[in-house]
Chains A and B, each alone.
Chain A
Amino acid sequence: QKEVEQDPGPLSVPEGAIVSLNCTYSNSAFQYFMWYRQYSRKGPELLMYTYSSGNKEDGRFTAQVDKSSKYISLFIRDSQPSDSATYLCAMIDTDKLIFGTGTRLQVFP
């Protein structure tokens, strides 16, 4: 079993939809949680960074962490075609950063 599980998609939604992207994990030692966005043929870029449980909002993006369920989510409101990318969750355990495999999102006009 992988430490971090993420549905690969693709997830295809119409413009303006609310998108929910999720990851589950098995290691209860994870304390720091991140979401990276990766456009096609580009490197990942950090989108959201949260510590421990709770919600964090940044514009149209909301990151949610539920440590009791070992589940994290990224919500995108009013999705745009420019949001089409692969979204990677990532978590830190002591000295290593573990990535999910990524979910490919397509937002069509």
Chain B
Amino acid sequence: NAGVTQTPKFQVLKTGQSMTLQCAQDMNHNSMYWYRQDPGMGLRLIYYSASEGTTDKGEVPNGYNVSRLNKREFSLRLESAAPSQTSVYFCASSEGSTSLNTDTQYFGPGTRLTVL
């Protein structure tokens, strides 16, 4: 099993450009998450999807959109990138599908995004 995979690994954008970060998991998990990790801020939840067909905002959703394409895939889109979105982005998945999700989250390797 590959676990959680993310593409691309690195990306450099100019302000105003758009891009989509891809995430896939092969563990048949119901829930998937997008986080960003910044120095001194820790991991912050951007969006999550508790089951196929549902998405909800996390702590820092502004400037992002998500799509739960199917049970395996959860993408994060930046419509008009800003320097403040320079960060490391992690996708994660967990087995549960309820709002109280105490299941272990498994993380992907991350995407390092720089917005100039």
Chain A interfacial positions (CB closer than 8 Å to B): 4, 6, 8, 32, 41-46, 49, 88, 92, 94-97, 99-102
Contact = CB atoms under 8 A, between A and B. Distances in A.
Given A6-B42, A41-B109, 12 more contacts: A4-B42, A32-B102, A43-B4, A43-B107, A44-B90, A45-B106, A88-B43, A96-B58, A97-B45, A99-B43, A99-B44, A100-B42
Q: How large is the interface on B (under 10, 10 to 19, 20 to 34, 35 or more residues)?
A: 20 to 34
Interface string B80-116: 0000000000101000000111101111111000000
A88 B90 contact: no
B41 interface: yes
A4 B108 CA distance: 23
A49 B108 contact: no
Contacts of A44: 43, 90, 107
B40 interface: yes
Shortest beta-carbon contacts, A-B, top 10: A43-B107, A101-B42, A99-B43, A95-B99, A99-B42, A46-B104, A44-B107, A32-B102, A43-B109, A43-B108
B38 to A, nearest CB: 9
Interface of B: 4, 40-45, 58-59, 90, 92, 99-102, 104-110
A25 B14 CA distance: 38
Contact of B105 (A8, A46, A95): A46
Contact of B110 (A41, A96, A97): A41
Nearest to A101: B42
A95 B109 contact: no
A42 B41 CA distance: 17
B42 A96 contact: no
Contacts of B59: 96
A102 to B, nearest CB: 6
